[in-house]
Structure 1
Amino acid sequence: MKNYLVIGCSSGIGQAIFTTLAQEHQVTGTYYKNQPQKLPSKSSVHYLNVLDEDFDFSFIPEKLDGLVYCPGSIQLKPFHRFKEEDFIKDFQLQVTGAVKVIQASLPSLKKSEQASIVLFSTVAVQNGFNFHSLVSSSKGAIEGLTRALSAELAPKIRVNCIAPSITDTPLAHSILSTPEKKEANAQRHPLKDIGSPEDIANAAMFLLGDKSKWITGQILHLDGGIGTIR
């Protein structure tokens, strides 16, 4: 049995990863707005707001075999309507928060024979989409961080990143709030479907586990083909 830490485990992709991991492993999770009420037996959850200046990381296990950083946001609107503070706050949530969590977790990760870090980007980083300037900026930094850390932390700690397209989670509710919106977004993808939290969790499980022991520094595109197929 291994020890994992999932930052942002209360809904969507984070919840799917947390629940799947807890079937076989000891999992520590964090929440911000919604505290999970029903927990798997091999798990615990703790409050964490990654935008706070002072973090209490005393809940991090002494040894960690894997870390997943899930907090994110989706704000889509024309570039000229964003304020400078919008970019700063989004960067703090998606990048600075990840940096602080990884730095705090490094001593525990280094005690594992082979640890794995999984971060999240978006298909919009590699493909220019209208109104995605905010999320693409922050997630572009995450992809750069993934590659740099994978080099610095090898060979004992692997670092990879998953870059999904639109996924049916509470975070994307405004984009997928009606059957018509879901169908329209599904039709944009070559596979004619919307990603599910379980789709992403399956990929995260692979990157966290021993079957991916020769994979690091990679951006795994789970995007229904929209990033490469025309």
Structure 2
Amino acid sequence: MKTIVIVGGSKGIGNGVLVQQLENYKVINISRTAPDITHSNLIHFSVDVLRDALPEFESIDALVYCPGSINLKPILGLSLDDFRKDFEINVMGAVKVIQHYLPALKKGENPSIVLFSTVAAKLGMPFHSSIAASKAAVEGLVKSLGAELAPLIRINDIAPTITETSLSGSILRNDRMKENMIERHPLKNYLKPAEVARMAGYLISEDAA
């Protein structure tokens, strides 16, 4: 059975990936809080990725980095520390995890990495300057590593629109705001974590080789 390491699998999209992959993978979750699920294929490590040492593994087949942030404010309402915090979570955390687990990934079977961006990195949206800047850096990182790590390791990022998670609670906090969000999309809907998780599952699968 292949091994997948999920960073941030206790909530949101990461939890969606975790739940969907438990039957097919040995799943190692790394996050500050444990997921609300137990399974014979699941191992959890309580770790603050930005501050703590990461656990060691001999070999892994897939790495999914899910931590993110939604800090929506006008540019004058954002401090430099806001930008630094978003960059730390979205970019530096991913870099730390990739650097740490690259040797283990190189020993895996058809190894792959999945990160997460946002539609706001390419589609200009008001009040998204901090998160869009961080996620644009994620996309640049993925493009560079895609060339550097090929053909041994595949790396992709998913850039979803608004997804119904605890992070987006302030944006989808009432029916009127939900309806406004639905009307902005041609398909007249926003995303559920399970939908994004299925895309991540595809990208780490042999079908995406």
The yes-or-no answer on 1:31 pairing with 2:63 is no
Where do 4+ consecutive residues of structure 1 move more than 3 Å?
none
- Inter-partner Cα distance in structure 1 for 2:120 and 2:143: 18
Structure-1 separation of matches of 2:126 and 2:74: 8
Deviations 1:169-206 (A, max 9, x none): 11100101112211110110000011000110010000
CA distance in 2, matches of 1:85, 1:179: 32
For 2:167, what is the secondary structure of its paired residue?
Answer: helix
Structure 1 position 194 matched with structure 2 position 190: yes
Q: Distance in 2 between matches of 1:205 and 1:2?
A: 13
Q: Choose which of 200, 203, 208 in structure 1 pairs with 2:204.
A: 208
Counterpart for residue 45 of structure 1: 44
CA contact (8 A) 1:65 1:112 kept: yes
Correspondence 1:175 to 2:171: yes
TM-score of the two chains, using structure 1 as the length reference: 0.88
Contact 2:115 2:156 in 1 (8 A): yes
After TM superposition, the structure 1 stretch with the greater mean CA deviation from structure 2, 38-47 or 165-174, is 38-47
What's the % identity of the aligned pairs? 44
CA distance in 2, matches of 1:163, 1:24: 24
Aligned 8 A contact 2:15 2:35 in 1: no
Residues 63-85 of structure 1: CA distance to partner in whole angstroms, max 9, x if unpaired?
11100000001010100111111
The answer to whether residue 140 in structure 2 is matched with residue 141 in structure 1 is no
Partner of 2:108: 112
CA separation in 2, counterparts of 1:130 and 1:107? 40
Q: 1:11-69 CA distances to partner (integer Å, 9 max, x unpaired)?
A: 1100000111112210000122x3224222101111121231xx3222x4311110000
User: 1:93-121 deviations in whole A, cap 9, x for unaligned?
Assistant: 11000000000100110001310100000
Q: Which stretches in structure 1 are left out of the alignment for 5+ residues?
A: 214-230
Does the CA contact (< 8 Å) of 1:167 and 1:196 recur in 2?
Answer: yes
- Aligned CA-pair RMSD: 1.0
TM-score normalised by the chain length of structure 2: 0.97
- C-alpha distance in structure 1 between counterparts of 2:36 and 2:132, whole Å: 33
| Residues 183, 189 of structure 2: 8 Å contact kept | yes
CA–CA distance in structure 2, aligned partners of residues 188 and 143 of structure 1 = 24
- Which residue number corresponds to residue 5 of structure 1? 5
1:56 aligns with 2:53: yes
Equivalent-residue separation in structure 2 for 1:208 and 1:116 (angstroms): 6
Confirm whether residue 14 of structure 1 aligns to residue 10 of structure 2: no
Match for residue 160 of structure 1? 156
Residue range with higher mean Cα deviation, 167-176 or 40-49: 40-49
SS for the counterpart of 1:170 is coil
8 Å CA contact 1:19, 1:40 repeated in 2: no
Number of residues of Structure 1 aligned to a counterpart in Structure 2: 209
